Amino acid sequence: MKKVLFTVALALVAVGASAQEPEFRMPMGGFGGFGGGFGGFGGGQQVDVKFDEYVAAPEGFDKEREGIDHGTVQLIEYKSESVGTVRKANVYLPPKYDPNKKYSVLYLLHGIGGDEWEWMNDGGVPNIIMDNLYADGKVADMIVVMPNGRAAENDSRAGGMASSAAFGVFDKDLIGSLMPYINSHFSTYTDKMHTAIAGLSMGGGQSLNFGLANMDKFAYVGGFSSAPNTQRAAQLIPDVEKVKQENKLLWMVCGGADGLIGNSTQLKAFCDENGIPCTLINYPDEGHNFTVWKYGLYNFAQLIFK
């Protein structure tokens, strides 16, 4: 009877959390018996590393400004060969987008409770952040693609953690269908030097997993509060010298009060031990939230394609 009551209690907690917030909140130490992870995913305790310097973003970096040019966001639909359905993604086009010039592409991924709308509708304001960066001349010309990272026929948010398998095979949809669609429907560069991938939480884990496994496709990789789906460092980087030669940016941030920080520190420690350039910023006193993720986008976007 105690076991049944415990199971019901966990279910009620999960339902209550999802009703209030689409992205989960990992408490310090993880989810009880999972040791900081979800089922078979990796997790682990925080590793003692030397963090890179935290520099606060300027006041108003994420606030809409008057008197500047603004980009546009459009919802696109594409046929996914791996999933077998028509899927959706949001695409941010910068101010004065010109189809006669070429643009780099940043693929920006959501978390386990989100979809192609999470960055736009749940507090990420990527269009505002990018508009402000453009106005200040701080970013290279790029478009930002926000897909649904749940590669399943039913890709709604309702799947939650039950969608973990669909997140794990999103690379087939991303590389096999979405990227060709973007490159054929927008004026983009198609080489790795003009392609980046980054994401928050579950999307951060996907970005590290897929980006480092496909360095012929992505030269720039970012993980913001990467979740326990992040592979262990030795799996992510089986060939140290190859990463040194081919990866142009490996950049991470995580809140200092986030129980998932172990996923980022274990990779940082491995990189430091093997002489691989890698940035990890500890956002002071913050948890698993868009305060950290907006800061991640603001900084990562300024470093890519330059």
Which sequence spans correspond to the domains of the chain? 2-303
Structure tokens at 300: 């990562």
Predicted pLDDT at 45: 82
Predicted pLDDT at 135: 98
Q: Where are the alpha helices (DSSP H) in 122-236?
A: 126-135, 164-168, 170-173, 179-185, 202-213, 233-236
Structure tokens at 228: 């326990």
CA-based torsion, 270, 51, 262, 144: positive or negative? negative
pTM of the model: 0.87
Mean of the pLDDT values across residues 5-29?
Answer: 31
Reference 151, options 196, 109, 195, 211; nearest CA is 109
Q: Which CATH architecture group holds 2-303?
A: 3-Layer(aba) Sandwich (3.40)
Q: pLDDT tens-digit profile of 218-266?
A: 999 999 999 999 999 999 999 999 999 999 999 999 999 999 999 999 9
As a whole number of angstroms, the distance between CA 133 and CA 301 comes to 9
Mean of the pLDDT values across residues 110-117?
Answer: 96
With residue 251 as reference, give the H or E element that holds it: strand 249-255
Mean of the pLDDT values across residues 125-140?
Answer: 98
Predicted pLDDT at 1: 38
